[in-house]
Amino acid sequence: MYLKRLEIQGFKTFAQKTVLEFKPVASGRRGVTAIVGPNGSGKSNAADAIRWVMGEQSLKLLRGKKSEDVIFSGSDKRSRSGFAEVTMVLENEGEDRTGLDLGEIAVTRRLYRDGQSEYEVNRQSARLQDVALLLAQAGIGQRTYSVIGQGMIDSVLVASPSERKEFFDEAFGLKPFQLKRQSALNKIDESKKNLGQTESLLNEIGPRLTTLERQIKRLAERDTLQAELQSLERAYYGSEWQQIDGGIKSATVKLELSRAEQAKLVEAANKLEAMLTEMEKATPRGDGFKELRAKLDTLATEKAGLRERELKLETQKAVAAVRAEKPWAPLPLSKIIEAIESLRGAHEELVAELDKAKPDIAKAKKLAESLRSTSVDLAGQLQRPAPEPGQVKSAMDPAVEKELKEIAQAYADLAEKTIKANTDLEAWNRGEDDKRSHIFKTQHELSQKRAEAQGVERKAGDASIELARLETRRDGLLADLRLHAPTLETELSNLAGKADKPAADAAARMQKLRSQLEWIGGIDPETIKDHKETKERFEFLSKQVEDLRAGIQALDLVVEELDATIRDRSATAFHKLNREFTSFFKKLFDGGEASLVEMQPEPELDEEGNIISEPKEGEVAGVDIQATPPGKRFKSIALLSGGERALTSIALICAIMATNPSPFVVLDEVDAALDESNSRKFAEIIGTLADKTQFVVVTHNRATMMQASVLYGVTMGDDGVSQLLSVDFADVEKLRKK
């Protein structure tokens, strides 16, 4: 690789576009290109242009105070430039081709007056970091010996040991490794920051995820309980509805049949009564018959009054019993009418039994008890409010029970009186048997029909009471269903057809499940989504933490490998540099001694002076220079004269060039302080090193000019613009031979 071309436009005194061509001489030599000119012509600006395009940021080294000082500021005869642009073209061919996959590398830097700066590599936008890494890979660095300007020849000697070491490291070609190492360290720091932030996020998300997982667990438990409850509800309500609905249908059929039969019997009794009335009109009765008949009627009226009182009391008692069994609901009017009709039929049956000539007292008592039970049930359904379960006895009025006993006793008394009256009537009838045989027979049939009608009426009353009880259960079931499972109301018919008999403790189990669900409480459905997102975020961050830790470990290994590489290469290059430095020093001074000494770092101490950490093995803190010219005994470079310091610096620079040849080196009047003898020695060394390194030398020295193969002359007109005049000595030699 070598410097092929330099294009300058608007940079300092090079206002117009100026191109400097550099080419190696024959026989593979890199050659020397000299730039000469009077003081103030701007020849050093060519060296500054190379330094600037390589990324130099120090305005002091560029001999300016602000960034726009590098832009042509104009003169009396020429306007100022709006920007400065420098392009350095490197040829990357030959045996010394670097690992870069580029045949030609063109690095451009451009600066506008508004402060906007641009870098380009082969006309593609790039960053300063990219340019620095590219040049470092090519073995070129703007802060090393690649460009040595006026006053910088002595900088290596006056630099601190650590600064001197940094200079040597770059000269040894360690800059790419150091850049990679620094990049790896920066990545480690960034990764550690990201790791800390990620772990902080995990610490924040972790408790939140734990809470959400508990809620999700409760939600899963809630779903299980809810599913069990729904299954129980479907079975329980379906089974209950099946029983109630079937019972209602059966009771309705019984009620309708009883009422139909009762209607027929009532109609037959009415016909017999009409016939009896006609007979009585046709056959006048005696006063005795009328008296007995009146007595029987009076007894019947008293019985009816007792039946009415008994009906009311029994109704109250039945209501209390029914309400204690199931939640109460008011009966519709149609049901009330049906129930009263049923009671009336039962009442008439009881009257018919009592109207018989020889009534069956046991049967009459049974009919009275049935009538009383039916009346109580009906009354219980008509009264409100309904008593609580288990409180029927406490809710029943003791006076009602007492009155019921009194009515029962009155029934017994009336039954005896009726028997006696019937006995008297039968005796009178026997006396009047011939006259009234047909009437008696008809009356007997009428009593029988009435008794049958009353029996049927009792059955109808029982069916009516059963129907009312089932309807009350149905209403209570529907109320409970609408409260706890309203969605099942439309499915009751289907559930009843498919219902399996639930367990005996189904109702208690449902209540327990409802209590558990109420204790768990409601959970927002968004919790599932929130849990999923939080879990995904936690897993993603956990994976990031693992990746960051793995990345930090990998970068630590890279840093260790780079440290080992830098340490090994630095040690090898340092020994070679020390040898070459001694050789060039003796050559320039015609003797003497010079060497480079590595300085070990001091151990780190705390405030009390105790050692905190020992330096690593092989670690170097800086480099010291020891130089003893011939005939002198001191070793400190601080005691050297100005000329001696210049020769020592040149010896060190030449040693670096010999140790690790750079593709090119720019020397800006570094030989200005040398006398004629030392100038010749310096020129000879440059000529020797030109076999491996391309030199661009800004000089006034004739000995140095004699080593050049191409000579550029720089002049400046009255417009303040630098102009070039080039001479190729190969062309001059050809003309001379002609």
Is pLDDT of 664 > 60? yes
Is pLDDT of 284 > 60? no
pLDDT at residue 237, rounded to an integer: 73
> Using the 8-state DSSP alphabet, how is residue 286 labeled?
P
The residue-averaged pLDDT of 220-247 equals 74
pLDDT at residue 734, rounded to an integer: 66
Q: What is the pLDDT of residues 168-184, one digit of tens each?
A: 777 777 777 877 888 88
Mean pLDDT check: name the lowest of 223-227, 381-385, 729-733: 381-385
Q: What is the mean pLDDT of the chain?
A: 78
pLDDT at residue 357, rounded to an integer: 59
| Better-scored residue on pLDDT, 525 or 126 | 126
Q: What are residue 628's phi and psi, to 5 degrees?
A: -130, 100
pLDDT at residue 509, rounded to an integer: 75
The residue-averaged pLDDT of 515-536 equals 71
The residue-averaged pLDDT of 63-92 equals 89
Q: What is the pLDDT of residues 605-639, one digit of tens each?
A: 767 767 776 667 667 778 888 888 888 877 777 78
Q: What is the pLDDT of residues 294-330, one digit of tens each?
A: 777 787 788 777 777 776 776 666 656 655 554 545 5
pLDDT at residue 524, rounded to an integer: 62
Q: How far is CA 188 from CA 203, 547, 590, in A?
A: 22, 12, 51
| Better-scored residue on pLDDT, 99 or 153 | 153
Is pLDDT of 10 > 90? yes
pLDDT at residue 321, rounded to an integer: 60
Q: Are the C-beta atoms of residues 552 and 623 closer than 8 Å to each other?
A: no
Q: What is the pLDDT of residues 563-585, one digit of tens each?
A: 888 888 888 888 888 898 899 88
pLDDT-derived band at 642, boundaries 50, 70, 90: confident
Judge residue 613's burial from the number of C-beta atoms within 10 Å of its C-beta, 0-12 exposed, 13-18 middle, 19 or more buried: exposed
Q: b/e for 16-54, b at 16 or more Cβ within 10 A? A: eebebebbbbeeeebbbbbbbbeeebbbbbbbbbbbbbb
Calculate the dihedral angle through the C-alpha atoms of 304, 308, 309, 314, rounding to the nearest 10 degrees.
Answer: 130
Q: What is the pLDDT of residues 179-207, one digit of tens each?
A: 788 888 888 998 888 888 888 888 888 88
Bond from prior residue into 332 cis (ω within 30 degrees of 0): no
| Better-scored residue on pLDDT, 592 or 494 | 592
Phi-psi region of 720 (alpha: psi -120 to 50; beta: other; left: phi over 0): left
Spatial CA neighbour of 551 closest among 192, 217, 285, 201: 192
pLDDT at residue 232, rounded to an integer: 75
pLDDT-derived band at 145, boundaries 50, 70, 90: low
The residue-averaged pLDDT of 654-674 equals 83
pLDDT at residue 280, rounded to an integer: 66
Q: Give the separation between CA 372 and CA 445, rounded to whole angstroms.
A: 27
The residue-averaged pLDDT of 462-466 equals 83
Q: Give the separation between CA 661 and CA 619, rounded to whole angstroms.
A: 25
State percent of the chain over pLDDT 70. 80
Is pLDDT of 151 > 80? no
Q: Are the C-beta atoms of residues 84 and 10 closer than 8 Å to each other?
A: yes
Residue 604, both tokens: 């780190």
pLDDT at residue 87, rounded to an integer: 96
Residue 351, both tokens: 């009257």
The residue-averaged pLDDT of 336-364 equals 73
Residue 44, both tokens: 């050093």
Is pLDDT of 86 > 90? yes
pLDDT at residue 393, rounded to an integer: 47
pLDDT-derived band at 359, boundaries 50, 70, 90: low
Judge residue 631's burial from the number of C-beta atoms within 10 Å of its C-beta, 0-12 exposed, 13-18 middle, 19 or more buried: exposed
Concatenate the DSSP letters of all residues of 261-275 into one string: HHHHHHHHHHHHHHH
The residue-averaged pLDDT of 388-407 equals 63
pLDDT at residue 106, rounded to an integer: 92
Is pLDDT of 513 > 60? yes
pLDDT-derived band at 395, boundaries 50, 70, 90: very low
State percent of the chain over pLDDT 90. 9
The residue-averaged pLDDT of 322-350 equals 68
Q: For the chain, list the domains and their CATH numbers.
A: 1-146+662-738 (3.40.50.300), 283-484 (no CATH)
Concatenate the DSSP letters of all residues of 220-281 into one string: HHHHHHHHHHHHHHHHHHHHHHHHHHHHHHHHHHHHHHHHHHHHHHHHHHHHHHHHHHHHHH
